[in-house]
Copies of this chain bind each other. A is one copy, B any other.
Amino acid sequence: MKQLTISIQDYLKHIYELTENGESASTNALAAKLKIKPASVTGMIQKLAAAKPALVEYKKHQGVTLTAEGRKAALEVIRHHRLLEAWLVQTLGYSWDEVHEEAERLEHVISEDFEQRIADAMGHPLRDPHGELIPTADLKMPLEEAIPLASLRPKQSGTIQCVKAADPKLLQYLKGHGLVPGARIEVQEYSPFDHNLTVKVANKIVVLGLNITNKIFIEVNPPKTSKKGR
């Protein structure tokens, strides 16, 4: 497979993220995510669909999905990104709200050799500093067991696995409340009208809106049934 341009790598990565839920990625959504105009997106996806091994599946007015080829390429970029984030945090003391931007540029230029060296150096981590799963070296995405905090209800508890956010301000805010991967969390109240959740983390009580609870992913503790063990 030939070397893809940085631009194409970016398209594929963002298409991957938009299609993770199984839906196809719309021109507009892609344009918004890439911060370019929709018309430019149309041009590029036509090119990606026409490529010799097609990288995307595309029919006019129906959005795009990745082909197997395209997905491989996307996972390669995502693997680079997440390994880099982990590595920058571990070895250069970046905080989790600073790494994204740096990794965003480095992900396109590091060699496979570099990728392997940092993966080895870190002992092949499963997740990046935000808790996002890192695609394996053979480019398969591990299965995510965690579910959105938004789907939990009072009495349920678990451990934060992943925080899907990039905005530095938000990340700083979350860290300030102890809402980081590894933290244990317990839902205390649910407000059905605004979908706010009152939760306990780090021995403190916080009320979180849907905007936030949708971005925090939890591995849920088994419900305590009548006190017989398992």
Contact = CB atoms under 8 A, between A and B. Distances in A.
A113 B121 contact: no
Given A91-B91, A92-B118, A92-B121, A106 B110 contact: yes
Contacts of A121: 91-92
Contacts of A101: 111
Contact of A105 (B93, B102, B109, B118): B109
Copies of this protein in the assembly total 2
The residue among A92, A101, A110 with the most chain B CB atoms within 10 A of its own CB is: A92
B117 A111 contact: no
Nearest to A117: B92
A110 to B, nearest CB: 7
Contacts of A105: 109-111
Contacts of A113: 98, 102
A114 B94 CA distance: 9
Interface string A90-133: 01111000100110011011110110011001000000000000
Contacts of A110: 102, 105-106
A93 B113 CA distance: 11
Contact of A114 (B102, B108, B117): B102
Contacts of A91: 91, 121
A99 to B, nearest CB: 10
Contact of A102 (B98, B108, B111): B111
A92 B111 CA distance: 13
Contacts of A93: 117
A1 to B, nearest CB: 19
Nearest to A92: B117
Interface in A36-94: 91-94
A54 to B, nearest CB: 28
Sorted from nearest, which 6 A-B pairs have the closest CB atoms? A105-B109, A92-B117, A109-B109, A102-B111, A102-B114, A106-B109
Given A92-B117, A94-B117, A105-B109, 13 more contacts: A91-B91, A91-B121, A92-B114, A92-B118, A92-B121, A93-B117, A98-B113, A101-B111, A102-B111, A102-B114, A105-B110, A106-B110, A108-B109
